[in-house]
């Protein structure tokens, strides 16, 4: 059985992220897509518009000196424009490392991502790793 197109879209996004292919990620999102990151750290908030989302992704790499990685564990579409993806992420920041389970909940319209809600296993630990908001 073929993979649902929404699940394939999310897999393509994860693959592009892992390769640092921001142009492919840009092509998978609507111009006004919003990414919601939990917590109260410098990496938390609502990032509206594909340019702001890509800047946010760049910050993930910058703050971890390029060590930030995501390992996709599963992709689960509902067939009605939503996909839940679960992953493990890790990175190093200074003398501190982190590894955590998490996930993204995607809303998809017309074959493009329109909204992405991020969840993490431990918001307080994630906040401590990223540091306080400026």
Q: How many domains does the chain have?
A: 1
Predicted TM-score (pTM) of the model is 0.94
The secondary element (H helix, E strand) that includes residue 79 is none
Give 10-residue mean pLDDT values along the chain (134 residues). Answer: 94 97 98 98 97 97 97 98 98 96 98 98 97 88
Domain residues for 66? 5-130
pLDDT of residue 2: 86
Residue 63 to residue 93: CA distance in whole angstroms: 6
CATH for 82: 3.10.450.50
Residue with tokens 């067939």: 79
């Amino acid at each position: 059985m073929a993979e649902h197109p929404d699940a394939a879209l999310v897999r393509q996004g994860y693959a592009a992220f892992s390769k640092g292919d921001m142009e492919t990620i840009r092509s998978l999102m609507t111009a006004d897509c919003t990414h919601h990151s939990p917590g109260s750290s410098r990496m938390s908030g609502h990032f509206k518009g594909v340019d702001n989302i890509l800047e946010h992704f760049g910050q993930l790499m910058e703050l971890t000196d390029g060590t930030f990685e995501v390992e996709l564990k599963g992709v689960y579409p509902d067939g009605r424009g939503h996909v839940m993806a679960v992953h493990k992420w890790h990175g190093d920041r200074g003398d501190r490392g982190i590894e955590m389970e998490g996930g993204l909940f995607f809303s998809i319209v017309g074959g493009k991502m329109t909204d992405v809600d991020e969840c993490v296993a431990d918001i307080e630990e994630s906040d401590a790793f990223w540091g306080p908001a400026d």
